[in-house]
Amino acid sequence: MKLWMERRAEHGSALLYTMVTIATGLMILAGALAWSGTSSKQTDRANSYMASVAAAEAATETTISRISSDFLYGGESQVLTSVATYRQSVPNSAQSSYWGNWQFSDGAGNLNQTFVQVSTSTNYVVLDATYAGLQGFVTTCTLISNARQPGALNDVTAGVYQELQLARIPIFQFAMYTSGDMEIGNGQPFVITGRVHSNGNLYVEPIADLIFQSDVSAVGDILYARAPLDTRTPPYGVVTYMGRKDAHVNAMTLPIGMTNTPQAVREITQPAPNGEDPASALGRSRYYNQVDMVITAFNTNIVVTSGRFNNFGLTVTNTQLFVAATNSFWDAREEKTIKPIDIDIGALANWSATNGDLRSVLGNRDVESIYVWDRRTLGANQLGAVRVYDGRKLPALGLTVATACPIYVWGHYNQTNNSYLGTTNTTTTVPASLVGDAITVLSGNWSDANSSQSVGSRSATPTTVNAAFLAGEVDTTATAYSGGMENFPRFLETWGAANTFTYNGSMVKMFPSLYANSPWGKANVYGPPARAWSYDRNFDVPTKLPPLTPSLLKVIRSSWSTIAANQTNAPAAQL
C-alpha cells in the first residue's frame, strides 16, 4: 500500500511538472509571438522612416542640382533671382512613377514645395577641406524637405536639412593657376611660395630642384613626367612638396556659361560683340564691360571714353598726356614688328589724380581699370600690342590693365620705394594686374632701337614687377615644349645670373594665346634671368586684390541632417 501511494505521488508530481512546463512554454511562445509582432512593426516603421528620409533627401538633391548649375554658370545673381523656382522643385511622377505615391512639403505646411533660403549677404571666409586656407566670398543656401507616403502601412513623415556654401574664390589667391593642363619644367632651382592648382593634369618635370612651399592640387593627375606630346628626355630634378598634394579634386571654374574650355575663357579678354547682352553670364565676365575707362586705337587716332557703367557716355580729353601709338620694335620670338599702344603709367597716375572729367563720373576717385581695344589695320608681319612703362607709380587705388592683345611691361612696375626693389616687400605697392593674350617683360635697359639686333646685344638689367598676371601661352606640341610656367612671363633680352627678374604676384594661365602664338624655344630670343618669384600675400586680403579680379566658383556642402517633421529652422547641432 505504501509503495502504491509513493508511486501515485510520483505520477502526480510528473503530471504537475509537465503541466507547469507546458504552461511556461506557452507563456514563452506567447511572449515571443508578441515580441515578434512588435519587432516586426518597429522594423516596418523604421523602414518606412528611412524611405521617407531618402525621399526627403531626393527632394533637396533635386533642388541642389539646379542651384549648383545656376551658380556655376551664372553666379550668385542667377541663384538669387531663381529662389521662387527652387521652392517649387520636388520629385514628381513625370520624373518617375515611383514619386506618384509620395507627398512633399517644406516643413511649414506648404505641399509640393521645398524650403529654400538664400542669404543676401556674402561673407569673406576661410574655406576648408581640399581648399583649406583659401578665402572666398560665401553665400549660404539652406534647404529643408519633408516627405511622407500617404496610404502606406506606416505613414511616417521625415525631414531632411541641407546647407550649401556657394563660394566665389578670387583667382589671384594662387601663386600659379591654369584652366587646363599645367607644366613645370624648371632648368634652374625653383621655389614656388604659394598655392598651385591645375584644372587639368599637372606635369611636374624639372631638371633642377623644385620646391612647392604650399598646397598643390589638380583636377586630373599630378605626374612626375613630361606631357604626352613632349618627347624630351625624362625629368630628373628633385621635387619637394611641403604642403598638401591633392589630385582628382573638383574643378573650379569661371561663371561664363555652359562651356568653360580654355578657348571659351579667353573671351573674357575680348571686346563684347554686337548684340551680346552685357548682363549675360559671359557679358558680366568681360573686362571690356567692367572697366572704368576704354582706350580704343583706330588707324588715325585714339579715342578714350568712360566705360559701360555710363554707356561709354564721356569722351576723355588730354589723353595724349599718357597714351600714344607711334613706336615700334621687333619681337624675336614672334618674328614680327610690334606696334604698341604705349601707356605711360606714371603720367596716367598724375592725370587720374587731377582730371575733372572722368573723376566726376567715377565719384571723384582715381581710375582703377582700363581696357585697351586695338582696332587698327596692321600688316601681315606686324602685331598690335599694349605696352605699359614708367610704371613705378600707379593710381592711388591700384590699376588693372586688360586687353585682348599681347602686353609688354617695360621696366620696374608698382614699386615706388627704391629699397624694396628686388625684394619680396610689397608693403608700399597698390593692387595691380595685367591681363592680355601674353605677357612679356622688358627690363629697364630695353631699347626699341636695339630690338632687332642679336640677343647678345639686348642686355637686361635687374627688374621688379609687382602685379598679378592673367594671360595665355602656347601649348606643347609634338615639335615644341610650351615653356612651362617657368616661362609664363616671356623675355626678349639676355639676362643671366647677375640680372634677376623679381616678381611678386599671381600667375594665371587661362587660355592658348591667340595672337602671340609663336612657340617657345627658338634661338636668338632671350637668355633666362635669375628668377626670384613670390606669391604676393597682399592678395590674401580682399581689399588688396587687384581691381576686377575674376572669381572661381565652387559649391561646398557644409551640413546634412535629419530633423523633426514640420520644422523650418536648422537642427540644434547646426545653430
User: Residue 542: left (phi > 0), alpha (psi -120 to 50), or beta?
Assistant: alpha
Looking at 217, 236, 252, which one is the last position of a domain? 252
Looking at 252, 277, 307, which one is the last position of a domain? 252
Q: Which three cell numbers stand for residue 130?
A: 581640399
Same domain, residue pair 346 and 478: yes
Cβ–Cβ under 8 Å, residues 167 and 132: no
Same domain, residue pair 93 and 202: no
Same domain, residue pair 235 and 92: no
> Does residue 307 lie within any of the structural domains?
no
Supply the pLDDT for residue 573.
42
Residue 34's SS3 state is helix
Q: Which residue has the higher pLDDT, 41 or 134?
A: 134
Tell me how many domains the chain contains.
3
Neighbours of 258 (CB within 10 A): 9
Q: Which residue has the higher pLDDT, 310 or 109?
A: 310
Structural domain including 224 reads 180-252
Same domain, residue pair 331 and 434: yes
> Does residue 417 lie within any of the structural domains?
yes
Max CA distance (Å), the chain? 146
Same domain, residue pair 383 and 352: yes
Q: Cβ contacts of residue 543 below 8 Å, gap of 6+?
A: none
> Does residue 120 lie within any of the structural domains?
yes
Looking at 228, 252, 276, which one is the last position of a domain? 252
> Does residue 277 lie within any of the structural domains?
no
Q: How confident is the model at residue 4 (pLDDT cuts 50, 70, 90)?
A: very low
Cell numbers 625629368: residue = 235
Same domain, residue pair 394 and 538: yes
> Does residue 118 lie within any of the structural domains?
yes
Q: Which three cell numbers stand for residue 208?
A: 633642377
Supply the pLDDT for residue 479.
93
| Over residues 379-383, mean pLDDT | 95
Same domain, residue pair 517 and 562: no
Same domain, residue pair 425 and 562: no
> Does residue 370 lie within any of the structural domains?
no
Residue 421 has pLDDT above 60, yes or no: yes
Residue 18's SS3 state is helix
Tell me the C-alpha distance between 219 and 239, whole Å: 20
Pairing of strands 463-466, 507-512: unpaired
Same domain, residue pair 78 and 124: yes
Same domain, residue pair 545 and 558: no
Arithmetic mean of pLDDT over the chain = 90
> Does residue 113 lie within any of the structural domains?
yes
Q: What is the pLDDT of residues 239-296, one digit of tens each?
A: 999 999 999 998 888 877 667 788 889 999 999 999 999 988 888 899 999 999 999 9
Residue 108 has pLDDT above 70, yes or no: yes
Tell me the C-alpha distance between 142 and 568, whole Å: 10
Same domain, residue pair 53 and 189: no
> Does residue 193 lie within any of the structural domains?
yes
Cβ–Cβ under 8 Å, residues 277 and 573: no
Supply the pLDDT for residue 3.
47
Same domain, residue pair 392 and 248: no
Q: How confident is the model at residue 574 (pLDDT cuts 50, 70, 90)?
A: very low
Q: Which three cell numbers stand for residue 503?
A: 616678381
Q: What is the pLDDT of residues 194-211, one digit of tens each?
A: 999 999 999 999 999 999
